[in-house]
Chains A and B, each alone.
Chain A
Amino acid sequence: GDSVTQMEGPVTLSEEAFLTINCTYTATGYPSLFWYVQYPGEGLQLLLKATKADDKGSNKGFEATYRKETTSFHLEKGSVQVSDSAVYFCALSDLNTDKLIFGTGTRLQVFP
Chain B
Amino acid sequence: DSGVTQTPKHLITATGQRVTLRCSPRSGDLSVYWYQQSLDQGLQFLIQYYNGEERAKGNILERFSAQQFPDLHSELNLSSLELGDSALYFCASSTVTSGNTIYFGEGSWLTVV
Contact = CB atoms under 8 A, between A and B. Distances in A.
B64 interface: no
Interface stretch (A9-17, A21-29, A43-51, A69-77): A43-51
Contacts, number: 51
Given A89-B43, A102-B43, A44 B55 contact: no
Q: Per DSSP, are chain B's interface residues mostly helix, strand or loop, or mixed?
A: strand
A102 to B, nearest CB: 4
B74 to A, nearest CB: 14
> Which of B31, B55, B101, B107 gathers the greatest number of chain A CB atoms within 10 Å?
B101
A36 B48 CA distance: 19
Contacts of B84: none
Q: Which of A43, A49, A100, A104 has the most CB of B within 10 A?
A: A43
B83 interface: no
